[in-house]
Amino acid sequence: MEIFGHMLQALIDPQLVIYLAVGVFLGIYIGAVPGLSVTMAASLLISFTYSWDVLPSMAAMVGIYIGGVYGGSRSAILLNIPGAPAAVATALDGYPLAKKGLAGQAIGITVVQSVLGGLIGTIILAVGAPALAKVALTFAPRDYFLLAIMGLLLIGSLGSDSPARGVMSAAIGIFIGFIGMDSQTGHMRFVIGPSGSLFRTYMTLGVSYVVVMIGLFGMSEALMQLRDLSVKPVKQKVDKIVPGWKNILKYLPLSIRTSLMGTFIGALPGTGGDIAALMAYDHAKRTTKDPETPFGEGALEGLVACESANNAAIGGACIPMLTLGIPGDAVTAIMLGAMYIHGLNPGPLLMKNSADVFWYIIGAMFVGNIFLLIFGFTGIKLFTKIVEVPKHILMPIIIILSVVGAFSINNNLMDVYWMLAFGVLGYIMKLYHLPVAPTILGIILVDLIELNFRRAAVTVGNSITALLTDLVSHPISLVLLVVIIGMSLSSAGVFQKIRAKFPSGAQAKGSKA
């Protein structure tokens, strides 16, 4: 009963409700501006909130977090610039929808799905946090490695007429991720340039993947658009923004599945919403038999999957943060900092010693999602107008926003130069039918793959046979391995071939895959 009391506080204390609501509202619009990220907003907010009480500052943080993760989808849909890495997958199908004049509908769906995902994530956080945290703890480096490999299989879904080109593109992304100081040994890798120069220092620190993302998506798309100025912007339909019950029910099984995935991936301390969204997208593409529109050209399933997953990952990321004091992603890391400042002891004892804060945060996440449902529908008509702005005005503005976005990561002009270079690179890649999305996938996954591979290898004394034995002798690893093999077989079309041969027996297999 006491628990409900603490949770209810999120709903009845007017001051807290206002902080939360303002947080969600701001989060949405901060997330929607390319160049302003949730992490940035949260780290700004934390310095405001030092002198506040614990609960109001938590309310504002949770609000910004929920709103911001959703907000990133808006610029992804409208401008093809993902507001945050978690919205990369949203851009894949959202932007094609905007090109068709369906931006309003796309945004409407992302609101509802974000809320659904957020609620499911919160429920799991409320019910199963300690248990799930225990499972997440047992994830060994080898399991993270396998998870990353699973993410890589997504290349097959990222659309290209030739798998080789997808793999090529992903490998380029992975390689970009190697550049700089190796985080385990401190040695330089692939760093060029005269010693002591700014260029070299920049490479030493590694290329930020946000720079690559803004360049390859936003900037290169702007250049592509300029190839043909005669194409008039599409008039956006804004009459059917709020998706009907039928629409929601139709995708409900998918959104529940992807929300569960999102929560779990978010709960792993080493992975966050970006990977959750990409894997959910992959899952949607594999399980949707006959999408109305092919994936990559505006499939609603794609939007449903990644938006529900990345908001569900919020609940997930809070699990290790609240039960163990280990952040699940960058924003929870900042929330953790805020708790220290307020004299709480985030960690295994939080649930016992500060139960009020623990349950309030969960309550705030419920209420925050309700605010998201309300505020998420604001400004859609105005925002979709952006797409209708004529190209000769919009494209230069997009370029400027990309520049500001790249600069604001570290206040470094070098980031801007690299972003422009990646913009031109992405433009050329697109011209020659080399898809750019796998490059982003590669650069997002590179640390997960490499560092964990090396950890897994050194744990078993650097022997390949021992590593392979390790992979099959631990239950979690084995399950992941089986899933990976199943996924690769299904992308290779083996199941379709079997189904064609044995039409009756294939049903069961098909539903499993």
Partner 1 sequence: MNHFKRVFALLVCICLMAAALAGCGGSSSTTTASDPSNSSSTSAPAETTGIDYPTKDIQGSIMWSAGGVCDMSARAIGAVAQDALGSNIIFTNRAGSGGAVSTTYVNAQPADGYELLFGAENPQIAKVMGTAEIDYDDFTPIDLYCTTYAAVSVSKDSPYNTLEELMDAILANPGKIVMATTGAGGLPEVVAAMFADVVGTDPILVPFDGENECMTAIMGGNADYTITTLGSAAAFYQSGDIKLLSMIAESPVEGYEDIPIVVDSYADFSKYVPWGPFYGVFVKNGTDQAIVDKLTDIFSAAAEDSDFQQLLRDNGCFPMNVSGDEAVEYVKSYRSITSWLLYNSGATQNSPEDFGIEKP
Partner 2 sequence: MKKRKLEKGELGFITVLGVFSLICLIASMRIFVTAPTLNGEGTVPLITSCVLVVMTLVMLLETRGCPRGFEKGAALGQKARELLQFLFPGMVGPIILYCLVYAVLLSILGFAVSTLIFLFVSMITLNREHKVRSFLISAITLACIMILFQFIFKVQLP
Residues within the interface to partner 1 (CB under 8 A): 22, 25-26, 29-30, 33, 43-44, 46-48, 50-52, 56, 60, 137-141, 181-187, 198, 201-202, 204-205, 269, 324-327, 333-334, 336-337, 340-341, 343, 345-349, 379, 382-383, 385-386, 388-390, 393, 410-411, 451, 454-455, 458-459, 461
For residues 43 and 247, which CB has a smaller minimum distance to partner 1 in the complex? 43
Cα–Cα distances in Å, from 289 out to 65, 245, 286, 293, 298?
Answer: 34, 22, 8, 11, 15
Q: Does 178 bind partner 2 (CB under 8 A)?
A: yes
324 binds, among partner 2, partner 1, none (CB under 5 to 8 A by kind): partner 1
Cβ-defined contacts of 193-200 (< 8 Å, 24+): 198/414, 199/414
Nearer to partner 2, 360 or 427 (CB): 427
Q: What does the chain come to in residues?
A: 513
Stretch that binds partner 2, among 17-25, 177-185, 337-345, 473-481 (CB under 8 A): 177-185
Spatial separation of the C-alpha atoms in residues 54 and 274, rounded to whole Å: 29
User: Whose structure tokens read 């990220």?
Assistant: 37
Q: Which residues inside 151-170 make contact with partner 2, applying CB under 8 A?
A: 161-162, 164-165, 167-168
Residue 35 vs 108, nearer CB to partner 2 = 35
Coil, strand, or helix at residue 294? coil
Orientation angle between helical segments 103-137 and 380-388, nearest 10 degrees: 110
Among partner 2, partner 1, none, residue 227 binds (CB under 5-8 Å by kind): partner 2
Report the nearest approach of partner 1 to the CB of residue 293 (Å).
Answer: 26
CA–CA separation, 159 vs 154, rounded Å? Answer: 10
Helical (H) or strand (E) element with 112: helix 103-137
Indicate whether 185 belongs to the interface with partner 2 (CB under 8 A). Answer: yes
Quote the Cα angle for 301-305-311, to 5°: 145
d(CA 487, CA 445): 18
Interface residue with partner 2 among 12, 131, 231, 413 (CB under 8 A) is: 413
Q: Which is nearer to partner 1, 324 or 440 (CB)?
A: 324
Q: How far is the CB of 256 from partner 2 (least distance, A)?
A: 36
Helices (H), 325-354: 330-341, 350-353
Question: What six digits make up the tokens of 219?
Answer: 């900037």
493 binds partner 2 (CB under 8 A): no
**Judged by CB under 8 A, does residue 431 bind partner 2?**
yes
* 174 binding partner 2? (CB under 8 A): yes
Return the closest-CA partner of residue 21 out of 370, 389, 334, 501: 370
Nearer to partner 1, 8 or 181 (CB): 181
Q: Give the span between the Cα atoms of 115 and 151, in whole angstroms.
A: 24
| Identity of the residue numbered 345 | N
Q: At what angle do helices 14-32 and 2-12 cross, to 10 degrees?
A: 70
| Residue 326 binding result from partner 2, partner 1, none, given CB thresholds of 5 to 8 Å by partner type | partner 1
Q: Out of partner 1, partner 2, none, which partner does residue 256 contact, by CB within 5 to 8 A per kind?
A: none
Min dist. Cβ of residue 39 to partner 2 (A): 13
Site map (CB under 8 A) of partner 2, residues 210-249, x = contact: -------------x--xxxx--------------------
Task: Choose the one of partner 2, partner 1, none that binds residue 137, judging by a C-beta under 5 to 8 angstroms depending on kind.
Answer: partner 1
Handedness of CA 175, 181, 185, 187 (dihedral sign): positive
Interface with partner 2: number of residues (CB under 8 A): 65
**Closest distance to partner 2 from the beta carbon of 169 (Å):** 9
Phi-psi region of 192 (alpha: psi -120 to 50; beta: other; left: phi over 0): beta
Q: Could you tell which of partner 2, partner 1, none binds residue 399, using a CB distance below 5 to 8 A set by kind?
A: partner 2
For helices 273-287 and 475-491, the axis angle rounded to 10 degrees is: 50
Our finding on whether 433 is near partner 2 (CB under 8 A) is yes
User: Among partner 2, partner 1, none, what does residue 50 contact (CB within 5–8 Å per kind)?
Assistant: partner 1
Contact positions with partner 2 (CB under 8 A) in 449-488: 449-450, 453-455, 457-458, 462-464, 467
Position 103: which residue type?
A
Sequence-distant (≥ 6) Cβ neighbours of residue 200 within 8 angstroms:
191, 192, 193, 194
In angstroms, the CA 217 to CA 163 distance is 20
| Binding footprint of partner 2 on the chain (CB under 8 A) | 33, 35-36, 40-41, 44, 161-162, 164-165, 167-168, 171-172, 174-175, 178, 182, 184-185, 187, 189-190, 223, 226-229, 390-393, 395-397, 399-401, 403-404, 407-408, 411, 413, 416-417, 420, 423-424, 427-428, 431-433, 449-450, 453-455, 457-458, 462-464, 467
